[in-house]
Copies of this chain bind each other. A is one copy, B any other.
Amino acid sequence: MIETSNKGRFTLPAETGIDDDVKRLIDKWGADAIRNSDGTVLSKELMDMAVKVYTTYLTVRNDQEWAYSHKNQLQMQYLMSKYNTATTELLEINPLEGYFNRQFEIDKNHDFKRYWEVIDRSTGDVLEDSNWYFDCSKETVVITNAKRWHRYTVSFLAYQVWDTTQMYNHLTNNWTTPPQMPYDAIHEETREHIFSYLENWLKENPSVDVVRFTTFFYHFTIAYNDKAKEKFVDWFGYSASVSPEALDEFEKVKGYKLRAEVFVDEGYYNTPFRVPSKEFLDWIDFIQGFVAENAKKCVELCHRHGKEAMMFLGDNWIGTEPYGDYFGNIGVDSVVGSVGSGATLRMISDIPHVKYTEGRFLPYFFPDTFCEGGNPTKEAVENWIQARRAILRKPVDRMGYGGYLSLALKFPDFVDKVEEITNEFREIHNRIKGTKAYTGKFKVAVLNAWGRLRSWQCNMVAHALLYKKTYSYVGVIECLSGMPVDVVFMSFEDIKKNGIPEDIGVIINAGDAGTAWSGHSYWIDDEVTCKIREWVYNGGGFIGVGEPTAYQHQGRYFQLSDVLGVDREMGYTLSYTRHDKVYHGEHFILEDQQSEINFGEGMKYVYAVQESTKILSMDKGDINLAVNEFGNGRSVYISGLPYTPENVRILLRAIYFAASREEEMFNWYTSNCNTECAAYLEVGNVAVINNSDKEQETELYKDKNNIEKLTLKPYEIKWISK
């Protein structure tokens, strides 16, 4: 890779017909690679330039002739009908009602009774086969002896007759090309065709240096509604990885049969907010094995033709699971993904087993931003600044943008700003020389039902989009993504299997009750609670955000209320008189706090359950911030923690307080919370960044006795030799 300071590590999205501009930008932005997007084709001249060429490869839909001639080998989804209330004993259900009929076609090729389920949702009972039938001509399920006033659903398989991403682009950007259909590699015939088609393509595209797989075999779950609008989108969803053939194969491999309900999951479709069932985890494992095995063959084909294989972390990424056990087997050279935040940057940059990672930064050069009144420069700066603090912790190796260059060209200040950003990005790499910034002496473990598999993806609905229900938790991960602490993601099963590793200093549990992020019924699992109690009692630190350890059981809602010192009022303890008072003394966690803390959505009705609880912040009687001692350990409760510079500081202090290592926080620390530092001690370089749009004065602490005053310009990164 080029290591000069004004060239390299940058991938340009190409566009046909403006070759001179492309060449100018290659130079200005220091691009050493160009790529075509889904839909654009590079000119011969550009592809022959002395930069690497990436080309998108759509593994399961590049050959639409195959798709149209093998419609029985298209991909499927397990879908659930809407809820139907029986007003008579005869209940007719149109399974596809409410779905987009250009996306789905009911599977009539397989045994309905074997793969479908009709469920009485009032009781959860599955109907006996004899109590329903599918009317193929009307495409309705008829229940012959429904219980009146019960509600019924049908779980069924449907072919995906329109590829999800292409459909999205069609409907969003008014494309008019014919609908593409995704074929399913589970069928041996199709699988072999995928390989031979790829091999052929590799031969026919000698000027391509990097095959950018978008991605391998299974798209994340998207279902549209009957108005051709999004109905259900789960970036983590495995619904489109299922088929009778895969189900049969699963049964062979794992030794048991999966019900439709394992996938349909009461209509929740195993969103990552659900504590994953053993069956669903087995399915993920099974699909991972299948994807890894066959993706590996694709990668080997690329290598055999002298090309790199790059994987796009999106679209058909299901089953690749970069943080799973099989990903290393695939052997891709690199991963590229979209950077919407610090957390999504770390989600990419922390991926193991690859030679390099690449971030696609925002904004996309699309007409929504690059229009009259749009301010793409501002968006680019904000995106860069939020990502930069994470980059300093663990950089992506390369960066790039996506969209239509011609749109970007209309905004010359944007073009200049990208030049600045790319230079700053390259400078980081040049300064840190592959070394890691200083972090504290202990690790911080984020505890939930997913653990490592969903590293940096906690409480995420759709990839970096803001949801009212989740931003106060996503903030925790976002804060952590740029903090001088080593973060690990730990599951309850990890704790049950291995206990809490020696190097963990603080455990964070953040999420709403009932979700996988908080932990749901894991909190009435003896082994989990005992191990954590013992660990805290012996000096560990526990930070709970929102509804940590929550599960209504035996008189408590927060099961670790003894550790946390707080619980949440669920209506049963209103008869207890509250004597909660805010502690008005000084406290380590609040030392830098100059204004009201932003707890985001917060959490109403949290109260102290012990006298030892010290309340640091309370609003209308509800605790927002409290600390407690438990044996030699400490806990911190926070009602919500959206990402803000101030909250990064609150969390940093909470971590060092919980770990009982307050003094250590001052090793490579900045006094002003709008600034942060990253110390690369091996190479003697320290970066101090200003995350704000205003000039900031700050003190850089090497430790409590070595302090240096600095002034930083808005958004500046300042490099100091140490």
Whether A569 lies near B232 (C-beta < 8 A) is no
**Given A268-B555, A555-B83, A555-B267, is A533 in contact with B149 using a C-beta cutoff of 8 Å?**
yes
Whether B232 pairs with A268 at a CB distance below 8 angstroms is no
Contacting chain B: which of A119-127, A315-323, A678-686?
Answer: A119-127
Q: Chain B residues near A151 (CB, 8 Å)?
A: 562
Answer whether A231 and B514 are a contact pair too, CB < 8 Å, given A150-B526, A556-B83, A572-B274: no
Q: What residues on B are CB-neighbors of A533 within 8 Å?
A: 85, 149
> Which residue among A232, A571, A573 has the maximum number of chain B CB atoms within 10 Å of its CB?
A571
Asked if A273 CB lies within 8 Å of chain B CBs, one says yes
9 closest A-B pairs by CB: A266-B555, A149-B530, A230-B577, A149-B533, A234-B575, A267-B555, A121-B554, A515-B571, A268-B572
B-chain residues with CB within 8 Å of residue A364 when the two chains form the complex: none
CA distance A269 to B231 in the complex (A): 45
Is residue A461 contacting chain B, with contact meaning CB distance below 8 A?
A: yes
A526 contacts B233, C-beta separation under 8 Å:
no
Q: Tell me the nearest residue of chain B to A265, going by C-beta.
A: B555
Give the residue of B119, B552, B601 whose beta carbon is less than 8 angstroms from that of A514. Answer: B552
Contact B87 A575 (CB under 8 A): no
A85, A467, A569: most-surrounded residue (chain B CB, <10 A) = A85
Residue of B nearest to A620 (CB): B468
Those of A245-301 within 8 Å (CB) of chain B: 266-269, 271, 273-274
Q: Is the CB of A530 within 8 A of B229?
A: no
Q: Are B577 and A271 in contact (CB under 8 A)?
A: no
A195–B622 Cα distance when bound, in Å, is 49
Residues of B within 8 A of A274 (CB): 572
A121 touches B571 (CB 8 A): no
Q: How far is the CA of A233 from the CA of B573 in the complex (A)?
A: 10
Q: Which of A513-529 contact B (CB under 8 A)?
A: 514-515, 524, 526, 529
Contact between chains at B575 and A514 (CB < 8 Å)? no
Residues of A417-432 at the interface with B, using a CB-CB cut-off of 8 Å, are none
A89: interface (CB < 8 Å) = no
Query: In the complex, given contacts A123-B526, A229-B577, A271-B575, what are 13 additional A-B residue pairs having Cβ atoms less than 8 angstroms apart?
Result: A121-B554, A121-B556, A123-B554, A148-B530, A149-B530, A230-B577, A231-B576, A273-B571, A274-B572, A461-B575, A462-B575, A515-B571, A601-B604
Closest to A609 in B: B83
- Report whether B273 and A574 are in contact in the complex, using a CB–CB cutoff of 8 Å: yes
Residues 626-637 of chain A, each 1 if its beta carbon lies under 8 Å from chain B, else 0: 000001000000
Q: Is residue A537 within 8 Å, beta carbon to beta carbon, of the partner chain?
A: yes
Give the chain B neighbours of A124 by CB distance below 8 A: 553-554
Residues of chain B with a CB closer than 8 A to A469's CB: 569, 571, 574, 605
Interface membership of A534, Cβ < 8 A? yes
Q: Tell whether A308 is near chain B: CB-to-CB under 8 Å.
A: no
Contact of A571 among B85, B512, B579, B605 (CB under 8 A): B512
Residues from 134 to 157 in A contacting B, C-beta threshold 8 Å:
147-151, 153
* A470 on interface, CB distance cutoff 8 Å: yes
CB-CB under 8 A from A512, the residues of chain B are 570-571
A544 at the interface (CB under 8 A from B): no
Instruction: Quickly give the copy total for this chain.
Output: 2
Instruction: Tell me how many residues of A have a C-beta within 8 Å of chain B.
Output: 71
For residue A121, which residues in chain B have a CB less than 8 angstroms away from its CB?
554-556
A574 interface neighbour in B231, B271, B511, Cβ under 8 Å: B271
A693 CA to B274 CA in the complex, in Å? 52
**Binary interface encoding of chain A residues 530-555 relative to chain B, with 1 for a CB under 8 A from any of its CBs, else 0:** 11011001000000000000001111
Within 8 A of B (CB), among A92-146: 119, 121-124
Q: Is A179 an interface residue (CB 8 A)?
A: no
B-facing residues in A192-245 (Cβ within 8 Å): 221, 229-234, 237
Chain B residues contacting A119 (CB-CB under 8 Å) are: 554
Shortest distance between the CB of A167 and any CB in chain B (Å): 14
Which of B85, B229, B631 has a CB less than 8 Å from the CB of A579? B229
Distance to closest chain B CB from A547 (angstroms): 10
Q: Name A553-603 residues within 8 Å CB distance of B.
A: 553-556, 561-562, 569-577, 579, 601
Complex-state Cα separation, A511 to B574, whole angstroms: 14
- Interface check A328, CB cutoff 8 A: no
A576 in complex: contacting residue of B232, B266, B571, B621, CB < 8 Å: B232
Per-position 1/0 for A78-96, Cβ under 8 A of B: 0000010101000000000
Residues of B within 8 A of A531 (CB): 149
> 24 A-B residue contacts at CB 8 Å?
A83-B561, A87-B631, A121-B554, A121-B555, A122-B529, A122-B530, A122-B554, A124-B553, A149-B529, A149-B533, A149-B534, A150-B530, A229-B577, A231-B576, A231-B577, A233-B577, A268-B555, A271-B573, A274-B572, A462-B575, A470-B574, A514-B572, A515-B571, A515-B572
- Hey, which chain B residues are within 8 Å of A149, CB to CB? 529-531, 533-534, 537
Distance between Cα atoms of A577 and B237 in the complex (Å): 14
- Most chain B CB atoms below 10 A, which of A119, A233, A577, A605: A577
For A467, what are the chain B residues with a Cβ–Cβ distance below 8 Å?
Answer: 574
In the bound complex, residues from chain B placing their C-beta under 8 Å from that of A153 are 555
Inter-chain contact B537/A572, CB cutoff 8 Å: no
Docked pose: A583 CA to B698 CA in angstroms? 51
In the bound complex, how far is the Cα of B467 from the Cα of A530, in angstroms? 35
Q: Which residues of B contact A515 (CB under 8 A)?
A: 571-572
Are B267's CB and A534's CB within 8 A? no
In the bound complex, what is the Cα–Cα distance between A266 and B576 (angstroms)?
Answer: 13
Measured between C-beta atoms, what is the minimum distance from A554 to chain B in Å? 4
Residues from chain B with a CB closer than 8 A to the CB of A534 are 148-149
Which residues of B lie under 8 Å from residue A537 when comparing CB positions? 87, 149
Contact partners of A229 in chain B: CB under 8 A: 577, 579
A271 touches B572 (CB 8 A): yes
Is B575's CB under 8 angstroms from A237's CB? yes
* Closest CB in chain B relative to A416 CB, distance in Å: 37
Please, how many angstroms separate the alpha-carbon atoms of A211 and B554 in the complex?
44
Determine the residue in chain B with the shortest Cβ distance to A559. Answer: B122
Could you say which of B269, B553, B621 contacts A575, with CB atoms under 8 Å apart?
B269
- A573: nearest chain-B partner, CB-CB: B268
Could you tell me which residues of chain A, from 162 to 180, have a CB within 8 Å of some CB in chain B?
none
Nearest B residue (CB) for A84: B562
Which residues on B sit within 8 Å (CB–CB) of A575? 221, 232-234, 237, 269, 271, 461-462
A454-470 contacts to B (CB < 8 Å): 461-462, 467-470
Most chain-B CB neighbours within 10 Å: which of A470, A570, A574?
A574
Bound form: Cα–Cα A170–B555 in Å: 32
Q: A151 to B531: give the CA distance in the assembly, Å.
A: 13
Query: Taking CB as reference atom, which chain B residue is nearest A511?
Result: B571
Q: Please give the distance in Å from A563's CB to the nearest CB on chain B.
A: 9
